[in-house]
A = this chain, B = another copy of it.
Amino acid sequence: MRRSALLTLCLSLITTTAFADGGMWTFQEFPHELLKRTHNADVTPAWLDRVRTATIRLQNCTASFVSPDGLILTNHHCAEACLDEHSTKDKNLVADGFLARTRDQEKRCGTQIADVLMDMENITAKIGAATKGLDAKAANEKRKATMTTLEQQCEQDSKGAKGGPFKCETVDMYQGGQYWLYKYHRYSDVRLVFAPEREIAAFGGDPDNFQYPRWDLDMSVMRAYDADGKPAATPNFLAIRPKGPEAGELVFVSGHPGSTSRQLTVAELETLRNVIYPRWLLRASELRGRLIQFGKSSPEAHRIADDPLNALENGIKVRRKQLDALLDDRLMQSKRKDEAALRAKVAADPALAREIGDPWATIANAQARDAELALPYSYLEQGVGFGVSGGGSLFGYARMLVRAAAERPLENTKRLREYSDSALPRAQQRLLAPLPVYPALQKLYLSFGLERMREWLGPDAPIVRQLLSKESPDTLADKLVDGTKLADPAVRKQLWEGGAAAVNASTDPMIVLAREVDAEARTIRKSYEDEVEAPVDAASEKIARARFKIYGTSEPPDANFTLRLNFGVVEGWMENGKPVEPFTHLDRLYERATGQEPFKVPDSWLAAKPNLDLQTRFDLSTNNDIVGGNSGSPLIDKDGHIVGLMFDGNIHSISGDFWYDAELNRAVAVDPQIMFEGLRKVYKADELLKELSAQ
C-alpha cells in the first residue's frame, strides 16, 4: 500500500515542478505566487522579517523567541546536553526536569548559542569571479580562501551595523548554483529556564519513535542574554496562540532544516546506498548495543549513557529509513528518469551542452574514489577510530588543540576552514566549556573505535600496526583515558593559550596520539578534498547552472541548516488504509501508560491527573516539509502566532531526505494546549506563564 502511494507521487514529481506543500524555501526567494495559487493566501514582507528575526538557530536545532525579554521556546531534546551538563550523580535534570522561578536560578548552557539571521547577501558573482578559469582543484582551494576573506571582511564591517556585530557565514545553495553570505546576530550566553521530565518529554521513547511520537511534551524554555549579562531585548518575538490550530488550517514552519539530498545525482545516491549508510548503520547499531549494555551495569552508568543513546537511536531511525528509501528500486528508477530528462534537455541545447560538458560522468568517477577513501577518511580524519562521536570526546579536544596550534599562526585564508578567524571563537567556546567527561564512557567509545578501525582498515594497515601492535583496543583505551588530563577545562585552556609551544611539548597521551596521527589524517583529507570534493563541487555547480537555465528557481535548494520557511496544513494521513487523526489528546496518554520506561508517566502528571482536562490536545501532525534541524521550530499561523512546536516527523517523513511525499510525509508538533495545561496545573510555573502570556 505505502509503496504504491509513494510511487504515484514520485511519478507525478517527474512531470511537474509543483511541490504540493513540500519545499523548504529561503526567505529571499519565498514563492508568494505558489502560496496564492495553492492556498489563496499570502504573507507580507513585514511578516517575513518578523518571523525571520524571531527564529533562532541553536547548535543543532531551531528555536524561537516567545517573549520580549529573550525567552526561547525549543524542544526538550534540544536542551538535553545542557540538562546533562548540570546533572550530577544525585540530581539528574534530564530525568527530573527543571524550573527556574527567578532569573537568578536560570542555568547557563556551556556550549549553547542562539543565532538570528539578520541579513543575506548574494555573493555568487564574487565567488565566480575569483575562481574563473581555474581547474577544479585550484578552484576548490581558491573558493575556500575567498569565502574566508569575505567572512572576515563582513565581520569587520558589521561592527557598527544595526544588530551587529555579525557572525558571517558563507553558504552554498543549489550545490554551488548560488553562494550567499549569511549574517547572524549571535547570543553566546543562553540559559535554561524550564524543562519537563524526560518521561513526559519523550513518552513512548524509541518504540513510538520508530513509527511516530504522539504523546510527548517535547518542550524546553531557555533565555538569551546579551554580553553584558542582561536578558536580550527581543521585541520581534512571536506570541503563542494557546488554543492551537484547527484541522485543515494553513500553517508555516520557520527553521533550520539540516540537510536534504534531493538534488544529488544517481551516482551520489548510490554511494550513500551502497557504502555510506550500510557502514554507518552497522557501526551505530553495535554502539547502540554497547551503550545499552553499559547502561545496565549501574544506575549511574544508565544516567550517563542515556543522552548519547537517545541521540544515537534517533540517528539510527533516520538512517535506516533513508536506506529503505534508497533500496526502493522505484525511487532510484524515478531519480534515473529525472536525471535522464535533465540530460536530454541539456543535450538539446548545444551551447549549454558545450558549456557544461558531462558533469554527471565527473561525479560518477569521483564516487569510486569516494568509496575508496571513505574508510580512512572517517576513521582517521573524522576521528571515528578514536571514539569521536561528538565534540565532547577527549580525542576531539586533543585534535582541536593540535590542529589549532598548527593553524592559528598561519595567514587566515591559508588555514583549514574550521580554524579561520571567523570560526575560532566558536571552536574556543566548545573546547573550553566545562562539560562533564565520564571516563567509563570515554573508554567505551575509544575501545570501540579502535576495534572497528582494526576490523575495517585491517590489522596490517600502518595506523593499526602503529597503535595496536602490542596493545588491545581495551588496554590502549584505558591507558589513554586514564592518562590524559584533557577532561579538565583548565588544562585545555592552558594548552589553548600556550599555542604550538605548549602543545608540542605536551606529554599528555591523548595529545601525543593526536600529534602522531595528524600527518596521515591530513594527507587523507587532502586526497579527499582534491580527488572527491573538488571535482564533485565543480561538476555540481555545472549541473546547477543547467537546472537554473532549464527550470529556473521553481525548486528550492536542498536544505543545509540555513533558515527556511515552508507552508502546509494541519492534517493526518492514511496508514495502511486507516486514517490517523491530526490531533492526540491527553486521555490516551494515561491509557497507554505501563509504569515502565519508556511508557512511564512521571509522578507529577499522575498526581495532577484529577485536575487536568483529559480532552486537552497533546500533539498534532501537519504536512509541512521538515527534516532534522527543524526540531524546535515554531509552527506559525498566518497572523504570525505560534500554534505548535515541531519536534519530529512520522516514519514516512524520513524519506523526505530524497523527495517530498505529500500523501504520507507528516511533521509532528506539540500543541500549545498541552504546554499551557502542563505549565499551569502540573508545574505551576506561574512566572513563566505570565511572561508567555504578556503579548
- CB nearest to A597 among chain B residues: B472
Chain B residues whose C-beta falls within 8 Å of the C-beta of A207 in the assembled complex: 454-455, 458-459, 464
Chain A interface size, under 10 / 10 to 19 / 20 to 34 / 35 or more = 35 or more
Question: How distant is the Cα of A206 from the Cα of B597 in the complex, in angstroms?
Answer: 36
User: A293, B289: Cβ atoms under 8 Å?
Assistant: yes
Judge whether A409 is part of the interface by a CB distance below 8 angstroms. Answer: no
Chain B residues whose C-beta falls within 8 Å of the C-beta of A287 in the assembled complex: 289
Judge whether A288 is part of the interface by a CB distance below 8 angstroms. Answer: yes
Mark each residue of chain A from 418 to 458: 1 if its CB lies under 8 Å from any CB of chain B, else 0.
Answer: 00000000000000000000000000100010000011101
Question: How distant is the Cα of A458 from the Cα of B204 in the complex, in angstroms?
Answer: 11
Judge whether A307 is part of the interface by a CB distance below 8 angstroms. Answer: no
Mark each residue of chain A from 317 to 335: 1 if its CB lies under 8 Å from any CB of chain B, else 0.
Answer: 0001001100111000000
Judge whether A44 is part of the interface by a CB distance below 8 angstroms. Answer: no
Judge whether A595 is part of the interface by a CB distance below 8 angstroms. Answer: yes
Chain B residues whose C-beta falls within 8 Å of the C-beta of A469 in the assembled complex: 594
Tell me the chain A residues, 258-306 only, with Cβ under 8 Å from chain B: 270, 273-274, 278, 281-283, 285-294, 296-297
Judge whether A210 is part of the interface by a CB distance below 8 angstroms. Answer: yes
Q: A207-B454, A290-B292, A329-B270 are in contact. Are A596 and B285 (CB under 8 A)?
A: no
Question: How distant is the Cα of A211 from the Cα of B454 in the complex, in angstroms?
Answer: 11
Judge whether A518 is part of the interface by a CB distance below 8 angstroms. Answer: no
Judge whether A470 is part of the interface by a CB distance below 8 angstroms. Answer: yes
Judge whether A468 is part of the interface by a CB distance below 8 angstroms. Answer: yes
Question: How distant is the Cα of A296 from the Cα of B595 in the complex, in angstroms?
Answer: 31
Q: A281-B282, A282-B320, A289-B286 are in contact. Are A596 and B475 (CB under 8 A)?
A: yes
Question: How distant is the Cα of A210 from the Cα of B292 in the complex, in angstroms?
Answer: 25
Chain B residues whose C-beta falls within 8 Å of the C-beta of A458 in the assembled complex: 207, 210-211
Q: A206-B455, A459-B207, A459-B208 are in contact. Are A471 and B293 (CB under 8 A)?
A: no
Judge whether A587 is part of the interface by a CB distance below 8 angstroms. Answer: no
Of listed A206, A292, A316, A323, residue having the most chain B CB within 10 A: A292
Min CB distance A439 to B, Å, is: 14
Judge whether A474 is part of the interface by a CB distance below 8 angstroms. Answer: yes
Tell me the chain A residues, 331-359 only, with Cβ under 8 Å from chain B: none
Of listed A208, A286, A458, residue having the most chain B CB within 10 A: A286
Chain B residues whose C-beta falls within 8 Å of the C-beta of A464 in the assembled complex: 207
Judge whether A599 is part of the interface by a CB distance below 8 angstroms. Answer: yes
Chain B residues whose C-beta falls within 8 Å of the C-beta of A281 in the assembled complex: 278, 281-282, 285
Of listed A278, A316, A471, residue having the most chain B CB within 10 A: A278
CB within 8 A of A278: which of B278, B294, B474?
B278
Chain A interface residues toward B at CB < 8 A? 204, 206-208, 210-211, 270, 273-274, 278, 281-283, 285-294, 296-297, 316, 320, 323-324, 327-329, 444, 448, 454-456, 458-459, 464, 468-472, 474-475, 592, 594-597, 599
Of the A-B pairs whose beta carbons lie under 8 Å apart in the complex, a sample of 15, sorted by A's number, is: A204-B459, A207-B455, A210-B455, A211-B459, A274-B324, A278-B327, A281-B282, A281-B285, A282-B285, A282-B316, A286-B288, A459-B592, A459-B599, A470-B595, A471-B596
Further 15 A-B residue pairs, CB within 8 A, beyond A274-B327, A289-B293: A207-B458, A207-B464, A210-B455, A210-B456, A273-B327, A274-B324, A281-B285, A286-B286, A286-B288, A289-B289, A289-B290, A293-B293, A293-B444, A459-B592, A470-B596
Which 7 pairs of residues, A with B, have the shortest CB-CB distance? A289-B289, A293-B293, A285-B285, A472-B596, A286-B289, A289-B290, A207-B459
